[in-house]
Amino acid sequence: MSAKPVILVTGADLAPQAVALLADYEMVYAGATPSPDELLRLTSQHNPTAIIVRFGGVTPVIMDAAPALKVISKHGSGTDTIDKQAAAERNIKVVAAVGSNAAAVAEQALALTLACAKSVVKLHARMQAGHWDKATHKNVELNGKTIGLIGLGAIGQKFARMVDALDMRVLGFDPYAKDLPRYIQPSDLDTIWRESDVLSFHCPLTADNRNMLNARTLAQCRKGVIVVNTARGGLIDEPALLAAVQSGQVAMAGLDSFAVEPLPVPHVFRHQERIILSPHMGGTTSDAVVSMGVAAARNILAAMNDSERATCSSGKSVAGRRSNADVVDDNVG
């Protein structure tokens, strides 16, 4: 075993700029689609000091397999795939690369919004098949329409600025957001459901908001609403959304995240003309991958420095684990 402490990356690679920052560590990569069993095996074999989470999750069993584990660093801003309560109980710090993929995810939300409003996918397919629907098809104009944003962290606020530039009225719900820009109108959820022509989700998934868009809340929405989700699939009751699309209550849906990922085959959303799908890749631009990797690396270094200072000040070993684990999170894309 290497003399260097180990960092396990739950992915096939890490940006070279991030690897350079972590030169004092041995890097172990779990591959592009690591299974829970593979992550457990690698954790048991290498006893990492830190884990960078790209794909998959970190469970209590995985934490217990690494007595040296001090920090779990998310390669991105959403930490719902990490059991944060279990980490706190084990004095393991959980940190996120807050805001590092905000531009990328906001752009994906804008792309899906425009694709839904302008029927981009449908008209492309029709043109490829030899049709010319100019006289019969009508798109949606977003100018002057109302968009409701659920989650106003770095991504939500970036997206808000984009749609404000389209002269949309922007409603926003986030009980934790402070000092919002003038173009976001703070609103409660009932108002957002009732008044929005477009709904877009930018919040972390919690026990309290799971399936927040469901048959009941969809029924409160304007007929023909557009639904966009670049956050977490569990925010939406998928069968309820499908029923709303099929009934016309939802005109179009643009989805980049799903309750189960990768999206199973078959799945009720596949082959639905009015549901546009992308494989949870809003944050995976070439620029964002570098930003997230560097932020994840810096978060590890900061956490390790904190741990060393705590050990020195106490005058005794803390067995590689901090007291009072910290969790840093952001509204996700």
Residues annotated as catalytic are 232, 261, 280
Residue 255 structure tokens = 């989805």
Neighbours of 105 (CB within 10 A): 30
Neighbours of 176 (CB within 10 A): 9
Residue 245 structure tokens = 């699309």
Residue 172 structure tokens = 């926003």
Radius of gyration of the chain measured on its C-alpha atoms = 22
Contacts for 112 with CB less than 8 Å, ≥ 6 apart? 228, 230, 254, 255, 256, 276, 278
End-to-end CA separation in angstroms for the chain: 38
Q: CA 227 to CA 51: how far, in whole Å?
A: 34
Query: Which of 53, 56, 52, 55 is closest to 25 using CA atoms?
Result: 52
In the chain, the amino acid numbered 68 is A
Distances (CA, A) of 36 to 24, 29, 55, 72, 75: 27, 14, 10, 16, 18
Q: CA 158 to CA 234: how far, in whole Å?
A: 22
